[in-house]
Amino acid sequence: MKILIIPMSYVTGGSPISTRYRCKNLVRNSGDFTEYNGTQNIDDYDAIIFQKANNEITWKISEKYKNSKILILDLADPIYLSSFYHCCGKDKCCDYINDIILNMDCIVVNSWGMYKDCYLLYNKPVYFIEDYYDFSLYKNIPKYHTEDKKNLKIIYFGLAETFSRHLSCLKLITQYNCSLIFFSNKDLGYGKFIPYSEDIFTETLLSCDLSVSYFDTINNRKSNSKCCVSWIFGLPCITSDSDFVRFLDYNERIKESEYRFNYVRKYYDIQIACNLYKEVITNMYARKNLLKEKNKGELYM
C-alpha cells in the first residue's frame, strides 16, 4: 500500500505542528507513507491523505483522482469547517474546503467534537484518529520537580485565541502564589509572555512545573495534544480547578508524572496511528468495491 500525504505545510509553508504529528511522524515510522513535495508522480500511489491541505491546487488534485484513488481529508482543526464555523480568514484556508470534501471518500478528525460535527454536516464516513507521537524524538528529557509548593511555574502553550477556556485558572495562580508562563503567538497580558518558537520549545517546557489545558474529551473540538505533550515532558497537566490544587503537592506531581508518561507511551505511540490510517484505507477500498457491485447490479435490474 502506497500512501501519499499532502501536508498543510505544502499549502501554508512553515512548519505547522499538525504536519509533524499527522504527516512527518507517519512518514518517518512507516515506509507506506510519503510526504508530498510537488515532485512525486501521484499516479504511483494508492491513496492520498489531504492533511488540512485546502487550496485550489489540492482541490484540482482531488478532482483528478476522485474516481481512481482513495481520498481522505484529515481535518484536524475546526476553523476549516467554513460551512459551520466562523472562518479564520487567514490564507483563504476555507475557500475550497466544501468542494474538496465532495471529492473525498472519508474524513478523519482528531477530536470527538469534530467527529460529531462532521458526521452531522457531511454525507461521508468519519473516522476518529487522535494525534500520536514519535517517542524517538523525546529521548533523555529530564524533568526535575521541586518540593516547594510556592512559586510553581505553570505554562500555557498554544494559540492565544483559545486561552479563554482557561481563565478560571488565573485566579488560582494568584491565590497560590504561582506564576504563569504564556508561551504563545500573542501577548494577552497574562503572566510572563514568551513568543512561541520551536527552537526553545523543549527548554521552555522543562523550566516549568505544570501545564494547563482545560478540555472536555466528549465535546471539545480540539485534540488533547497539549496534555499528551506535557505528559511526554514529565509535566502534570491541569485540566480542571481540582487538578490545580492537587498538583500543589510534590508527591502528587511525581505520581502523576510517572503515571501519565507510561500512559502516553502505551496508548499514543505513532505506530498505532500508522495502523489506524491503513485500516481506514482498507475499509474505504472495501466500501468502494461494494458500491461498485451494488451499482452494477442495479444497472441490470
Give the rounded distance of the alpha carbon of 176 from its chain centre: 32
Mean of all residue pLDDT scores within the chain:
84
Which pLDDT band holds residue 84 (cuts at 50, 70, 90)? very low
State mean pLDDT over 69-82. 75
Nearest to 71 by CA among 27, 107, 30: 107
Which pLDDT band holds residue 75 (cuts at 50, 70, 90)? confident
**Per-residue pLDDT at 240:** 85
pLDDT at 301 over 70: no
**Per-residue pLDDT at 88:** 45
**Per-residue pLDDT at 61:** 93
**Per-residue pLDDT at 90:** 47
State mean pLDDT over 14-41. 90
**Per-residue pLDDT at 216:** 57
Tell me: the pLDDT tens digits for 134-181?
Answer: 988 887 676 777 776 678 999 998 888 778 878 888 888 889 889 999
Domains and CATH numbers, the chain: 3-132+269-299 (3.40.50.2000), 135-267 (3.40.50.720)
What distance in Å separates the CA atoms of residue 7 and residue 74, rounded to the nearest whole number? 9
- Structure-model confidence comparison of residues 198 and 299, the more confident one: 198
Which pLDDT band holds residue 91 (cuts at 50, 70, 90)? very low
**Per-residue pLDDT at 10:** 85
Tell me: the pLDDT tens digits for 193-244?
Answer: 999 888 888 889 888 999 998 665 555 667 788 889 999 999 999 988 889 8
Angle at 74 between CA 263 and CA 162, to 5 degrees: 70
pLDDT at 87 over 50: no
pLDDT at 123 over 50: yes
Give the rounded distance of the alpha carbon of 110 from its chain centre: 6
The model carries a pTM of 0.84
Looking at the chain, the whole-number percentage of residues with pLDDT higher than 90 is: 42
Tell me: the pLDDT tens digits for 31-58?
Answer: 999 999 999 999 999 999 999 877 888 8
**Per-residue pLDDT at 89:** 46
**Per-residue pLDDT at 295:** 62
